Structure 1
Amino acid sequence: MTLLDRPLTYPEVGATAGQLPDGYDHLRVQRVIGHGESTFRRAAERLTSWQMHRAAGLTVEATTPRVEPGSRVRLRLGRHLLRISFGCQVVYVVEDKRRRGFAYGTLQGHPEQGEERFCLEWREDDAVVFTITAFSRPGTWWLRALAPISHRLQQRYTRRYLHAL
């Protein structure tokens, strides 16, 4: 079984669209990335074509060139002996007139269990707001032992995603 053929690792699929489930660490950050329709459209293109992940420093191998429900993606972090490879599956896509985004969940073999949502909103005041919402917990014994490092790494990549758009 290849990395991208594996099942999801958590039962609360789609929960980033509502109340986050108990038993996980929660993350919710947002930032105004600009104003106006052109900013919204450019950011949506970067988000839904995996460019944001690449700009954040990850290597991306996706089963589809654009985000769509069921897309699977292998993300690689680091280099050489310190490289980590993990898979995720897009569990839903947001495509409204003034909102774009998606959520993906962890596949078996990912060091964590959970889901992360990336959503752009072009608000009535013309602000374009990028929100990242996630719930996660260590999926391996070694990650539980390295929890402080794992939290810092997640915070680092969250900042990188925010800056990438």
Structure 2
Amino acid sequence: MRRGTFREGTVDYAAVGATHAPDLMQYPPERSTPAEESWRIGSGEERFHTAAEALLSWTAQRAAGLELSDVRPAAGAAYTGISFDAEGAPIAPNRNEQEQRFDAEGTPFAAPGMTLRLRGRVKGMRADGELRVISVTEERRRVGFVLGTVGGSVVSGEESFDLYWHEDTDEVWFTVRAFDAPVALLYRLPGMVKRRRKELFARYLRAISPLYATPI
């Protein structure tokens, strides 16, 4: 098991890590709109590892039409502190430092404390912003990471991306959860935050599972 968690107050929202809270959909952070989707994207170990490699190397963002730039690893060793499992229970600290990996273009894989900029639009709606990797999880049957906004975005909040390879069914599932509070005036209009989030979720699915698979 490998986990890393970033714990400094540099993001622009208070509920750090709330995308992994079991009751996110019922009790989202104040002023925010929660969202969650899960898709079956195949089965078996090979499918899981292929999807995990794609996820941690920013395939979901790039294939969604977003430009990744100014990727900066955390200064010094990442703090691999307390993280949370799928049910929101705390997990004991793991002090092992993570080995940094890079994709074919030399971009670092997602790692705790890393900051980056995303630029792009989804159906005319802005998806720009500076983001920080809050945590990364790498386990035998679960891989994922959490992104939080630092600034420059039309919304403030967090996204989590998780892949699960279920032992009982051998199925691989991709789950994305988020909460967004509007920052820009346009996104305070009714429905705008939900429209933006729905389109982002659809694009992330296309990126990780081109054949779409079965929604729940």
Instruction: Tell me the residue number matched to 1:130.
Output: 174
Provide the residue aligned with 1:142 in structure 2: 186
* Stretch moving more, 59-68 or 110-119: 59-68
Q: Distance in 1 between matches of 2:127 and 2:146?
A: 21
| Residue matched to 2:90 | none
Larger radius of gyration: 2
Answer yes or no: is the 8 Å Cα contact 2:156–2:180 preserved in 1: yes
| Residue 12 in structure 1 maps to residue 15 in structure 2 | yes
Where do 1:96-107 residues align within 5 Å?
A: 96-107=139-150
Deviation of the 1:83 alpha carbon: 6.5
Structure 1's unaligned 5+ residue stretches are 1-5
1:75 maps onto 2:118 in alignment: yes
| Number of residue-to-residue matches in the alignment | 158
Percent identity over paired residues: 38
Give the aligned residue type for 1:138. P
Moved more, 122-131 or 11-20: 11-20
Matched residue of 2:151: which SS? coil
Q: TM-score, normalised by structure 2?
A: 0.67
Q: Is the 8 A contact 1:7 1:108 kept in 2?
A: no
- How big is the alpha-carbon RMSD for the aligned residues of Structure 1 and Structure 2? 2.2
1:15-164 aligned within 5 A: 15-18=18-21, 19-20=23-24, 21-23=28-30, 24-61=32-69, 62-64=71-73, 65-78=108-121, 85-124=128-167, 125-145=169-189, 147-164=190-207
Secondary structure, counterpart of 1:8 in structure 2:
coil
Question: What are the Cα deviations for residues 18-77 of structure 1, in whole angstroms up to 9, with x where unaligned?
Answer: 232342211110000010011000100110011221111111123251000011121111
Distance 1:41 1:118, change over 3 A: same
Runs (5+) with no aligned partner, structure 2:
1-8, 74-107, 209-216
Would you tell me which structure has more helix in proportion to its own residues?
A: 1
